[in-house]
Amino acid sequence: MVSAGDAGSTGSDPRPTPRYQVLLLEDDEELAAVLAKALQGLSCATELVTNGVEGLRSVIASDYDAIVCDLVMPNLPGDMFYLAVERTRPHLCRRFVFMTGHKAERNLEEFARKVGCSVLWKPFELDAFLEAVRKVLRRVERERAGASGAREP
């Protein structure tokens, strides 16, 4: 498990403290590195895992503002990972962005549509990826604002 938010950081690192925590499940190391770097621009610390089993361990241990999940991975594919999260941490299910290169597999698209999550088809534009994550982060911000407003007398 690699924490991309920590990669290469030093005590004199000028980057601001990340505002969001993102779990990135991607078994392609090159793509994962590109996505994690792009997420830094959104003030995200990214925890990178390469399969759904590692992802489930991470979800049990931590809370995340967004979960970016490849649908086709070894050891526990993205749809099964989502269903496991639904049983253990259901509030995180509205924070998923799925991605896949398997457009011919209609069941993947149907699954994502059924659970109401965005799907990015690889190869995708980095701007489309960032916008999908921004959408989730905006939703999280609205939820936080609503929760804090509900607590005020």
Give dist(CA 37, CA 5) in Å, integer: 8
Residue 94 lies in a domain: yes
Residue 149 lies in a domain: no
Residue 40 lies in a domain: yes
CB 41 within 8 Å of CB 130:
yes
Instruction: Tell me: pLDDT of 5 over 50.
Output: no
Instruction: Tell me: pLDDT of 10 over 50.
Output: no
Task: State residue 131's pLDDT score.
Answer: 98
Residue 104 lies in a domain: yes
Number of domains in the chain: 1
Q: What is the CATH number of the domain that holds 89?
A: 3.40.50.2300
Lowest-pLDDT range of 75-84, 109-118, 140-149: 140-149
CB 140 within 8 Å of CB 43:
no
Instruction: Tell me: pLDDT of 3 over 50.
Output: no
Residue 9 lies in a domain: no
Residue 7 lies in a domain: no
Structure pTM? 0.86
Phi then psi dihedrals of residue 45, to 5 deg: -90, 130
Residue 29 lies in a domain: yes
Tell me which residue range forms the domain holding 27. Answer: 17-136
Run of H or E including 42: none
Task: State residue 111's pLDDT score.
Answer: 93
> Which range has highest mean pLDDT (13-17, 134-138, 146-150)?
134-138
* pLDDT tens sequence across 76-112: 999 999 999 999 999 999 999 999 998 777 888 889 8
CB 119 within 8 Å of CB 112:
yes
Residue 62 lies in a domain: yes
